[in-house]
Amino acid sequence: MITPQRFAAYLLRAGALVLFSAVVIGAFTTTTVAQPRIQIVGGDTVNWGRIAADTLKHTITIVNTGDGVLEISEVRPSCGCTTTEKLSKNSLAPNDTATVGIAINVKGHHGPQLKRVTITSNDPDSARASLAMIFRADLLQSVAANATMFTMIREAKIGNDYRSNVELRNVGDEPVTIRPPRAAAGDDVAISFDLVAPRTLQPGETLDLVAHVTPRTPGMHTTEITVPTSGKYTPELNLKVITQVVDPDAAARSASAPAQSK
């Protein structure tokens, strides 16, 4: 016969067994798996402030602050004006570091700039697995162009004269003189400019810089243009003239070719 005293003792022993089991199971389940953790030395934002530069350079230092091996799979710039060097190493043991140099070509740009470089790794935290580094600068320029190249000339014919233009603006706070441009030497196109004497622009004033292009050979031609200025922050502008010239012989052959039977 089970007395109330024996039943209470049974429950007491059963409770102790359950508690012991819970402690043992908890000890096993609290064992953590080694995990990597990515961190950027100095933070994930670089701000150069107001600066006059053609190229902005920085070295990113990555450290593994976790207890597992950190694998970096990609370092990707957000635009073509940003280039990255080869990562010093892709696998980082705990407390190990890696570096990668970046260069941002800002020649001809002015005002606030924002660029990104995304670093992808095996950090288990999704917010850090694809980490974006932010680069900011407020670029000082004396003269700025509304485009990096003159308006493109398409389907041009050999011997004809074509006009191509770009707008220049004095973006500084002092007068600046624009001097006659120079075209890189080449036999594919002949280029001259309406601007044959220096022209001074007051702050905020613009100049429509016109190029006259005469194609000489068929094909796609890119000509480098240098525009000297008196600007403190922009001693010269580097632009391009792109000319697509049709092949008259190819057009004649196409017109004289017999139609193919279907």
Q: Of 139, 159, 175, which closes a domain?
A: 139
240 and 189, same structural domain?
Answer: yes
Full domain range(s) for residue 115 = 38-139
Do 132 and 219 lie in a common domain? Answer: no
Give the C-alpha separation, 120 to 245, whole Å. Answer: 43
Of 139, 155, 176, the residue at which a domain comes to its end is: 139
Please check whether residue 99 lies inside any domain of the structure. yes
> What CATH number corresponds to the domain at position 134?
2.60.40.10
- 132 and 211 belong to one structural domain: no
pLDDT of residue 54: 86
- Numbers of helices and strands, H then E, in the chain: 3, 19
Residue 255 clears pLDDT 80, i.e. is over it: no
Instruction: Assess if residue 32 is contained within a domain.
Output: no
Residues 169 and 224 grouped into a single domain:
yes
Q: What is the pLDDT of residue 225?
A: 97
Residue reference for tokens 């970046």? 102
Judge whether 206 lies within some domain: yes
Query: Which one, of 106, 129, 104, 103, lies nearest residue 118 by Cα?
Result: 129
Closest to 172 (Cα-Cα) out of 229, 233, 113, 114 = 233
Phi first, then psi: what are they for 78, rounded to 5°?
A: -85, -15
Q: How many structural domains are present in the chain?
A: 2
Number of residues that make up the chain: 262
- What's the CA angle centered on 23, arms 21 and 28, to 5 degrees? 95
| Residue bearing tokens 């039943």 | 7
Which candidate, 72, 112, 78, places its Cα nearest to that of 92?
72
Assess whether 162 and 129 both reside in one domain.
no
Give the pLDDT confidence of 73-116 residue by residue, as tens digits: 999 999 889 999 999 999 999 999 999 999 999 887 889 999 99
- In terms of domains, do 134 and 151 share one? no
Tell me, yes or no, whether 55 and 133 share the same domain.
Answer: yes
75 close to 119: Cβ distance less than 8 angstroms: yes
If asked whether residues 135 and 191 sit together in one domain, one would say: no
Instruction: Report pLDDT digits (tens) over 20-36.
Output: 454 445 554 555 789 99
94 in a structural domain: yes
Give the span between the Cα atoms of 225 and 205, in whole angstroms. Answer: 21
Give yes or no for a contact between 70 and 87, defined as CB atoms under 8 angstroms apart.
Answer: no
Question: What residue type is 254 in one-letter code?
Answer: S
Q: Is residue 29 part of a domain?
A: no
State the average pLDDT over residues 180-208. 96
Residue 6: band (very low, low, confident or very high) from pLDDT cuts 50, 70, 90: low
- 139, 157, 188 - which closes a domain: 139
Are residues 193 and 214 part of one domain?
A: yes
- Establish if 28 belongs to a structural domain: no
Residues 80 and 93 in one domain: yes
Do 149 and 183 fall into the same domain? yes
Q: 77 and 123: one domain? A: yes
**Phi–psi pair at 60, nearest 5 degrees:** -85, 130
Does residue 8 belong to any structural domain of this protein? no
2 part of a folded domain: no
19-23, 52-56, 174-178, 227-231 — which is least confidently predicted? 19-23
Assess contact for 183 and 241: CB atoms under 8 A.
Answer: yes
